[in-house]
Amino acid sequence: MIVPSMTVKEIHKEVFDDLKTLRNKLDELRSDFRRIVLKCNCYPITKSYDYKTREKQNLFIIQFTALKRSAWKKPVISIYGIYLRPEGRYAVISSLDINITTIYPPHFFKRYRERILKDESISNEDIIRHYFKNDWGFTGVVVNEKFESVYHYFENDNKDETVSFVGATNQGYCFGEKQGNVNIIKTIISDDMLFENQKSIFYELRTAFQDANKKRYGMTV
């Protein structure tokens, strides 16, 4: 179980070890999702399943998406965990194939609520679920002085914090810090928050994200 005393390195190991136990569960859920897709007449369709691992009792949300009917054979699958620390709820995603874990702290979801959803009625946990239901990954680059100045403009209460990368997503632009094989996503801003002279430095990043998703999924997101 992820506990407050764990370092990001320990969380990385905990999640990686636990994800390896999900193979049988994924096969079971894949079969259930197949039935849902074949009965559906409207696409894309997404179905999420909550699963608490038996041994370590970590909560994972396993999300299947079919972009079209034939995609029941090869749905898009994403798995993220939710855990609680004194400062609030975190989300965590690990990519087994590239040995990277990405952590989303409560401050990120606070900004997501304020800047993207603009809705105070949704619970903190539902904010997390909403984000990942609508998430299609991100395309990132190393931060330069121009990107960093944008970060500090919108996060002026955190002037001493550093960021090492920025990523374009279908919901905005995320800034984060790399700590070894763990990425900490610190905040998010929307396109409409940017001034005209700031938009140009994000243009190539947005285009790269759209091209990557069109190649991967055959769609623009």
**pTM, to two decimals:** 0.94
pLDDT of residue 52: 96
187 phi, psi to nearest 5 deg: -160, 175
Q: Which residues contact 123 (CB under 8 A, 6 or more apart)?
A: none
For 128-182, how does the pLDDT look when each residue is reduced to its tens digit (9 = 90+)? 999 999 999 889 999 999 999 999 999 988 777 889 999 999 999 999 999 999 9
> Average pLDDT over the chain, rounded to whole?
93
Q: 7 and 184 in contact (C-beta within 8 Å)?
A: no
For 59-84, how does the pLDDT look when each residue is reduced to its tens digit (9 = 90+)? 999 999 999 888 888 999 999 999 99
Query: Looking at residues 7-17, what average pLDDT do you find?
Result: 95
The type of residue at 102 is: T
3-state secondary structure of 127: helix
d(CA 221, CA 213): 7
3-state secondary structure of 182: strand
What is the token pair recorded at 140? Answer: 């990132």
d(CA 205, CA 172): 11
Q: 58 and 81 in contact (C-beta within 8 Å)?
A: yes
Query: Looking at residues 195-218, what average pLDDT do you find?
Result: 90
Question: Would you place residue 220 in the very low, low, confident or very high pLDDT band (cuts 50, 70, 90)?
Answer: low
Instruction: Identify which of 178, 44, 163 has the alpha carbon closest to the alpha carbon of residue 103.
Output: 178
d(CA 108, CA 205): 20
What's the residue count for the chain? 221
- Residue 101 pLDDT greater than 80, yes or no: yes
